[in-house]
Structure 1
Amino acid sequence: MIDRRAALGGIGGLAAATLLPAPAFARRNAKPPRLRAGDMAALVAPASAVTLPDELARAEHWVRGMGLIPSPGAHVGGRDGYLAGTDAQRAADINAMFADDEIRAIFAVRGGWGGARILPLLDWGVIRANPKLVIGYSDTTALHLAIATRAGFPTLHAPNAASRWEKQSWDSLWRMAFAGSTPVLGGADAEIESGREGRTLVGGTATGTLLGGNLTILSTLMGTPWLPDFSGAILFLEDVNEAVYRVDRMLQQLRLAGVLDRVAGVVFGQCTRCDANEPEYAGFTLDDVLQHHLCALGVPVFTGANIGHVRGQLSLPVGVEVELDAGARTIRLLEPVVS
């Protein structure tokens, strides 16, 4: 995975985004269509280059296994430095897939870094007029949050196309994207199945729009016009390869920006390989830091959800109304993701 801290030094494309006037947040838009066997699904690479052996072949394999027909973008195998082609090429693939009436869903093949660079180059008029499920996680958080802000329709925080699609990932995606149902996600049975035990920090229930994703990418969008309004939202977060003090720093950024003070509830998923600190930053565990920042908010909070850079992660909607039950450690959809 690309070291995001090194990559942040070369985000020339993002500078243009910060100069744009902040938009009025998008009103609720028509929802993406329900997926059916035989639908065409785009494979795009919005961020890092697809370089691992057979990575694209794996993505096509999983998408075919869903009963869908994979349609790779023109530049999905491209490369420009550590990116999957130039910013213009990666954006062109996404614009083309939203404009193509035969494409019903858009999968990110992989994450890494680079999605935020293309946000100013996307055709937001075309995207808003053609709601489609965008599916992926990690760096794809930039697309999820920008679509929530500019286009107003739901997306799915779920494995990237080349990830392993194990039972919990596939079952949760099928129920939302194909069946159009409103499942309850998480809970004790799901924790037993995944082998990842959650923990209630603050009990209670709350309702709101589910928004979030990768903590590093979300914090990268702070102060830009691509971040949605978190007032009354249920915030979910995950990350990977971040030392505890850096998680502390990013959560503090969210506090100082007023994001944490506005949410109705918080779910912190998996922070994979986030336990190590440099010796000079020893002293606090990840659990300590989460308690410092989240327990005083006065809203329901639970941690350890099966969300993030782990095998069998839950597929999770972005931009729909949900009910959070921190005591049961569940997220219940209050509306379908698809039409």
Structure 2
Amino acid sequence: MDKRTFLKSLGIAVSSIPAWSFAQEEIIETIAAQKQLLARLLYPGDTIGLIAPAGVIDTEESIVMTREIFQAFGFQVKEGKHIRSRYGNLAGKDEERLADIHSMFADQEVKGIICIRGGAGASRLLPQIDYQLIANNPKVLLGYSDITALIMAFYKKTGLISFHGAVGISTWSNSVAKNFENQFFLNQSTQFANPTDKGDNFIQYKERITTLRSGQAEGILLGGNLTLLSGLCGSAYLPDFKNAILFLEEVDENIERVDRMFCQLKLAGILDQIKGFVFGKCTDCGPAGGYGSLTLEQVLNDYIKPLGVPAYSGAMIGHIANQFILPVGAHVKMDADKGTITLLQQVLKD
């Protein structure tokens, strides 16, 4: 397949690209080598499967409210058999959580899969997942935090573009619901940018972005939770980060551990391969005790600025309300001065 034919298959208008640059050719070769796999659009009336592949669901209300959210979109809802199971802090034993993943992908009635929550434990499942089953039945998978492990492994092993965004127990504002409809019903989510409403203020105070290094870059959007990515270093479940736009978020970590995880990504060679960098929110991240602490700003300056790639922080990604729904594995363009991520391809099939 030549490059123009390949681009057309991604939904990119070749006529809008005046000339091929070396960087563009590299990116297209990276996509071709990975073999992207797209799920199909969702429609009201479809059946959505609910799974809990990581932390325990400790209240029945979490399940009830998740079901109500997706019924409000017009979906039929099917619960995983084991979502009420418990094994320590996990939503059941590994074989139970694995069985729910497999059954939802195998079930021809189920068109999309929503994780009720993150938590911990998804990485334990990776060696036992039937990736051929997933490749044969590509479906929307939505989640974040610990679900990063599944998103990364699915992309690496099958090429499936999954979605980093709100889980069932997230706060589903009207803004998040609209983003969901635009992405999964209309296939129209094309640019991700922080809100710019100043309210009654002379300048914008909330949801600001900080440009770490100016510029624009194109690449494959990869990333998720910092702890999960660093924990997968050296495993067979991380994709190639060559030509990637790396995005990260974190929660409830002191900055000493954040620094250690960035160091791990650096030592693993991941940071040196990327074309651009976006940091979301480090929610409830504070200083370590003892003799003092680096700040998050210092950590980003130490590890990201020397890379010489476009980079910004403050994106609406992470353990927050109104977070983006990001297609992981998609071809995107980022602008570190404007604080935007723009899709350059369709990420769902009609």
Q: Does the 8 Å CA contact 1:182/1:334 hold for their aligned counterparts?
A: no
In the other structure, the counterpart of 1:183 is 190
Say which of 164, 168, 173 aligns to 2:171: 164
2:222 partner SS: strand
Shift of 1:81: 1.3
Is 1:329–2:329 an aligned residue pair?
no
Give the paired residue count: 314
Write out aligned runs for 1:254-333 (5 A): 254-280=265-291, 282-333=292-343
Shift of 1:313: 1.2
Write out aligned runs for 1:97-136 (5 A): 97-136=104-143
Q: Aligned pair in 2 of structure 1 residues 165, 235: CA closer, same or farther (>3 Å)?
A: same
Q: State the percentage of identical aligned residues.
A: 40
Distance in 2 (CA, whole Å) between partners of 1:203 and 1:217 is 28
Distance in 2 (CA, whole Å) between partners of 1:117 and 1:243 is 24
Is 1:251–2:262 an aligned residue pair?
yes
Distance in 2 (CA, whole Å) between partners of 1:214 and 1:30 is 22
Equivalent residue letter for 1:208 = G
Q: Structure 2: give runs of 5+ residues left out of the alignment.
A: 1-31
Q: Does the 8 Å CA contact 1:26/1:150 hold for their aligned counterparts?
A: no
Distance in 2 (CA, whole Å) between partners of 1:120 and 1:293 is 31
1:250 partner SS: helix
In the other structure, the counterpart of 2:101 is 94
Equivalent residue letter for 1:309 = H
Distance in 2 (CA, whole Å) between partners of 1:58 and 1:334 is 34
2:217 partner SS: strand
Shift of 1:107: 0.6
Q: Aligned pair in 2 of structure 1 residues 115, 130: CA closer, same or farther (>3 Å)?
A: same
CA RMSD in angstroms comes to 1.8
Is 1:197–2:197 an aligned residue pair?
no
Equivalent residue letter for 1:164 = T
Q: Does the 8 Å CA contact 1:26/1:148 hold for their aligned counterparts?
A: no
Distance in 2 (CA, whole Å) between partners of 1:292 and 1:178 is 41
2:248 partner SS: strand
In the other structure, the counterpart of 2:152 is 145
Shift of 1:191: 8.8
Q: Deviations over 1:35-86 (max 9, x none)?
A: 1101111100001110035111111111112222211100011111111111
In the other structure, the counterpart of 1:15 is none
Q: Structure 1: give runs of 5+ residues left out of the alignment.
A: 1-24
Distance in 2 (CA, whole Å) between partners of 1:175 and 1:166 is 14
Q: Aligned pair in 2 of structure 1 residues 303, 191: CA closer, same or farther (>3 Å)?
A: farther
Distance in 1 (CA, whole Å) between partners of 2:196 and 2:92 is 42
In the other structure, the counterpart of 1:210 is 221
Distance in 2 (CA, whole Å) between partners of 1:237 and 1:146 is 16
Q: Deviations over 1:236-274 (max 9, x none)?
A: 000000101111100010000000000000000000011
Structure with higher Rg: it is 2
Q: Aligned pair in 2 of structure 1 residues 313, 191: CA closer, same or farther (>3 Å)?
A: farther
Equivalent residue letter for 1:300 = P
In the other structure, the counterpart of 1:338 is 348
More deviation in 105-114 or 185-194?
A: 185-194
Q: Aligned pair in 2 of structure 1 residues 190, 78: CA closer, same or farther (>3 Å)?
A: farther
1:189 partner SS: coil
More deviation in 166-175 or 303-312?
A: 166-175
2:181 partner SS: helix
1:228 partner SS: coil
Distance in 2 (CA, whole Å) between partners of 1:27 and 1:307 is 25
Shift of 1:172: 2.4
Shift of 1:312: 1.4
